[in-house]
């Protein structure tokens, strides 16, 4: 197979080797970290974590140093056995601290156990952490702490090689105050009480993981069992609702296993976080984190759980080697998430999600958010000097899964495509890879289909910005009804609207309702009178479903309907999900009438937001 010139004209060279991760300052090409032992105390008064990390380092080449990533860490001392290690800490723009350890002779193949005593930055300085005072939790009895390390925030809680090119196993002992439960992205191995009434929890993660998968949550948490290997954790007033909402978790996991192979992480637990959690879900190993906004009461938003389950293979086992290949995590995961949902709830749902992903998420990101020549609209973007959080968008998700769907349709080999996925996952399990590793493996396994593969526009799909060169085939029936209803709202006379059949909308599933609203939003702005009618007819200000509320707010904001301002501000003050907060703040900042109030609301809320969300909104404000 000759792929040597396949990337001619693309934006960067040497595509066959995994390029150096531009988002780490560590010397991960010289040294590997194989294991980390953490000894932590969570200090709710100072709002930090302090203790130590013991790093088992292995020299991959002859060297004399280990260079680690950090961010706002206070290093108290570094030792190997009884010997002090000389070190140097330097601040680096965007990427945090370069912590250089002078180790003397460190020949290839040898190992050294390095003990680092340190504390994290306090409060929001530890960009991965949010400490929440007890008054602001659901039950108001204990304070709360949670982390979000992806993409490059692990370095703010542990000195490490914060690149997905390095994987390590870990164990931990974590001390928390009286009455609090602590959970990590690992298996719990017991706990003991301390003299002051606190508890020390012990953990082990026997599978090697990338640093972005370190995770901690501590609070007044309770547990409910879903199945022998799945529990859900949440504050007491939330936990039973959560248990109901996530009832199908075991079924989803079993379906994922049929599709992707044996589940190798032992447990799959969920923890429901406070509303400030910046994401819908985060695939922390053994313990997926989810936003409480998934609890709609009708199990209608649980595809996020299918998504995080799929990451147990695509992402956590087979991992993007650097953030330019992020679509190998997210595009593959979306593709598998929809296969799981299709098998459990019907193929038409899968089709539906594929279409809305293409037309309501991918296309607007390309054409409106970034513009069609923007670097970030490439499936494999150039991230030199860029914080990966800054490039985050629907592109790796939707362009990525559409590409996999397109290839499936071109090959047209039925079951064998899913078989290929299983082989790919088994082959690259526990590795960190680049796009070409997948592509080469595809060619190898599909030698009899070489002609079809050669006809794929690889450069167009992978490296060119803008709308992909081909559109996969979608079954549009279910979607058409939604588009028709949307067009009615755009075009009908006042009289027709007055007589509109409200039941047609009410009978739809919530994903269909969202589609109706998103299709309305894509039309030219509605008149104020029509916006009012829309809200009134469909009782949109009463919905508890966040997806519906969000789509409604975007329609009203686009129409510049003044009464939406307080509704939108209340929404972003309560919910921290970046997917909602970023587009809403963007609109509020851009509109004369809401700009001042939006800035005021944001500034007032900073102390109650996760640091990641603050960074995102701050950069929006700067852009105006
Ligand atoms: N791993 C991501 C979240 C993430 C990505 C955090 C990059 C930080 C940096 C997670 O699996 C995810 O994709 N969550 C989505 C859910 C979804 C697409 C169903 C979300 O939060 O909306
Ligand atoms: Zn994901």
Ligand 1 centroid – CA 547 distance (Å): 15
Confirm if 330 and 400 have CB atoms less than 8 A apart: yes
Give catalytic status of residue 30 as yes or no.
no
Q: Is the dihedral of CA 91, 95, 97, 103 positive or negative?
A: negative
The proportion of the chain whose per-residue pLDDT surpasses 90, expressed as a percent, equals 96
Of the candidates 381, 377, 373, which has an alpha carbon nearest to the alpha carbon of residue 325? 381
Q: What is the pLDDT of residue 448?
A: 98
Q: Where are the domains of the chain?
A: 24-132+146-211, 221-302, 313-462, 476-539, 562-624
Q: Is 275 flagged in the annotation as binding?
A: no
Q: What is the pLDDT of residue 16?
A: 45
User: What residues contact 407, with CB distance under 8 A and at least 6 apart?
Assistant: 417, 442, 456
Name the closest-CA residue to atom 20, ligand 1.
280
Helical packing angle, 578-590 and 546-558, nearest 10°: 10
Q: What is the pLDDT of residues 116-128, one digit of tens each?
A: 999 999 999 999 9
Ligand 1 centroid – CA 581 distance (Å): 14
**DSSP reduced 3-state for 422:** helix
Pairing assessment for the beta strands 96-106 and 111-119 based on DSSP bridges: unpaired
Q: What is the pLDDT of residue 621?
A: 87
> Measured from the CB, is residue 150 less than 6 Å from ligand 1?
yes
Q: What is the pLDDT of residues 259-275, one digit of tens each?
A: 999 999 999 999 999 99
Q: Answer whether residue 314 shows pLDDT above 90.
A: yes
> Measured from the CB, is residue 392 less than 6 Å from ligand 1?
yes
Confirm if 58 and 32 have CB atoms less than 8 A apart: yes
Residue 422 CB burial class (10 angstroms; 0-12, 13-18, ≥19): middle
pTM for this predicted structure: 0.97
Q: Is 281 flagged in the annotation as binding?
A: yes
CATH of domain 313-462: 1.10.390.10
**DSSP reduced 3-state for 83:** strand
Q: Answer whether residue 499 shows pLDDT above 90.
A: yes
Distances from the Cα of 267 to the Cα of 180, 227, 286, 367, 606, angstroms: 21, 10, 5, 41, 35
Q: Answer whether residue 4 shows pLDDT above 60.
A: no
The active-site residue, picked from 144, 170, 376, 397, is 397
Q: Answer whether residue 2 shows pLDDT above 80.
A: no
Of the candidates 205, 152, 170, which has an alpha carbon nearest to the alpha carbon of residue 54? 170
> Measured from the CB, is residue 461 less than 6 Å from ligand 1?
no
Name the closest-CA residue to atom 15, ligand 1.
280
Q: What is the pLDDT of residues 271-286, one digit of tens each?
A: 999 999 999 999 999 9
In CATH, which of 3.40.50.300, 1.25.40.320, 1.20.20.10, 1.10.287.70 is domain 562-624? Answer: 1.25.40.320
Place of tokens 């050294």: 112
User: What phi and psi, each to the nearest 5 degrees, are found at residue 80?
Assistant: -120, 115
Q: What is the 3-state secondary structure (H, E, C) of 10-62?
A: CCCCCCCCCCCCCCCCCCCCCEEEEEEEEEEEEECCCCEEEEEEEEEEEECCC
Point out the ligand nearest to the CA of residue 283: 1
Residues with CB under 5 A from ligand 2 (ion): 330, 333
**Total residues belonging to the chain:** 624
Q: Answer whether residue 65 shows pLDDT above 80.
A: yes
> Measured from the CB, is residue 307 less than 6 Å from ligand 1?
yes
Give catalytic status of residue 308 as yes or no.
yes
The active-site residue, picked from 30, 308, 521, 547, is 308
Of the candidates 579, 379, 174, 67, which has an alpha carbon nearest to the alpha carbon of residue 553? 579
> Measured from the CB, is residue 390 less than 6 Å from ligand 1?
no
pLDDT band at 7 (very low <50, low <70, confident <90, very high): very low
Query: 221-302 architecture in CATH?
Result: 2-Layer Sandwich (3.30)
Q: What is the pLDDT of residue 624?
A: 56
Fold of 24-132+146-211: Immunoglobulin-like (2.60.40)
Q: Is 278 flagged in the annotation as binding?
A: yes
Q: Answer whether residue 597 shows pLDDT above 50.
A: yes
Q: What is the pLDDT of residue 480?
A: 96
Ligand 2 centroid – CA 216 distance (Å): 18
**CA angle, corner 66, sides to 64 and 68, nearest 5?**
160
């Amino acid at each position: 197979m000759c792929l040597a010139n396949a990337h001619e004209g693309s934006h960067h060279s040497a595509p066959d080797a995994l390029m150096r991760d531009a988002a780490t300052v560590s010397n991960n090409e010289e040294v590997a970290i194989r294991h980390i032992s953490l000894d932590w105390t969570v200090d709710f008064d100072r709002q930090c974590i302090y203790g130590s990390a013991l790093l088992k380092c292995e020299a991959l080449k002859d060297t004399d140093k280990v260079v680690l990533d950090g961010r706002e860490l206070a290093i108290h001392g570094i030792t190997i056995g009884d010997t002090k290690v000389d070190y140097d800490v330097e601040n680096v723009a965007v990427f945090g601290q370069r912590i250089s350890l002078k180790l003397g002779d460190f020949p290839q193949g040898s190992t050294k156990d390095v003990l680092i005593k340190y504390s994290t930055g306090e409060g929001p300085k530890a960009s991965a952490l949010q400490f929440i005072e007890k008054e602001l939790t659901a039950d108001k009895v204990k304070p709360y702490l949670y982390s979000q390390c992806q993409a490059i925030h692990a370095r703010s809680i542990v000195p490490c090689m914060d690149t997905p090119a390095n994987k390590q196993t870990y164990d931990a002992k974590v001390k928390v105050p009286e009455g609090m439960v602590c959970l990590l992205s690992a298996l719990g191995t017991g706990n003991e009480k301390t003299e002051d009434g606190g508890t020390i929890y012990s953990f082990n993660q026997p599978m090697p993981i990338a640093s972005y998968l370190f995770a901690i949550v501590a609070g007044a948490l309770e547990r409910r069992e879903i199945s022998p290997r799945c529990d859900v954790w949440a504050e007491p007033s939330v936990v039973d609702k959560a248990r109901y909402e996530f009832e199908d978790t075991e079924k989803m996991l079993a379906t994922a296993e049929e599709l992707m192979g044996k589940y190798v992480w032992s447990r799959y637990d969920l923890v429901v976080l406070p509303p400030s959690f910046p994401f819908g879900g985060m695939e922390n190993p053994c313990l997926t984190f989810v936003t409480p906004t998934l609890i709609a009461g009708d199990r209608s938003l649980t595809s996020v759980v299918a998504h995080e389950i799929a990451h147990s293979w695509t992402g956590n086992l087979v991992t993007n080697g650097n953030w330019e290949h992020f679509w190998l995590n997210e595009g593959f995961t979306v593709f598998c998430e929809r296969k799981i949902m299709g098998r459990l709830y019907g193929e038409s749902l899968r089709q539906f999600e594929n279409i809305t992903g293409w037309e309501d998420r991918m296309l607007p990101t390309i054409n409106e958010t970034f513009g069609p020549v923007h670097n970030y609209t490439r499936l494999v973007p150039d991230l030199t000097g860029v914080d990966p959080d800054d490039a985050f968008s629907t592109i790796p998700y939707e362009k990525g899964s559409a590409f996999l769907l397109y290839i499936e349709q071109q090959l047209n080999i039925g079951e064998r495509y899913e078989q290929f996925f299983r082989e790919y996952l088994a082959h690259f399990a526990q590795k960190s890879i680049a796009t070409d590793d997948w592509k080469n493996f595809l060619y190898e396994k599909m030698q009899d289909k070489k002609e079809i593969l050669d006809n794929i526009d690889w450069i167009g799909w992978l490296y060119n910005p803008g709308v992909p060169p081909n559109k996969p085939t979608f079954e549009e029936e279910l979607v058409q009804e939604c588009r028709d209803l949307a067009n009615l709202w755009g075009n009908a006379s006042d009289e027709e609207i007055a007589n509109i059949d409200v039941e047609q909308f009410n009978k739809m599933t919530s994903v269909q309702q969202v589609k109706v609203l998103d299709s309305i939003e894509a039309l030219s702005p509605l008149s104020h009178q029509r916006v009012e009618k829309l809200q009134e007819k469909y009782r949109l200000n009463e919905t508890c479903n966040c997806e519906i509320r969000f789509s409604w707010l975007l329609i009203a904001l686009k129409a510049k309907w003044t009464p939406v301002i307080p509704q939108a501000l209340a929404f972003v003050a309560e919910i921290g999900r970046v997917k909602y907060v970023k587009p809403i703040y963007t609109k509020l900042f851009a509109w004369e009438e809401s700009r001042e109030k939006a800035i005021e609301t944001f500034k007032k809320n900073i102390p109650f937001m996760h640091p990641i969300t603050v960074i995102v909104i701050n950069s929006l404000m700067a852009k105006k």
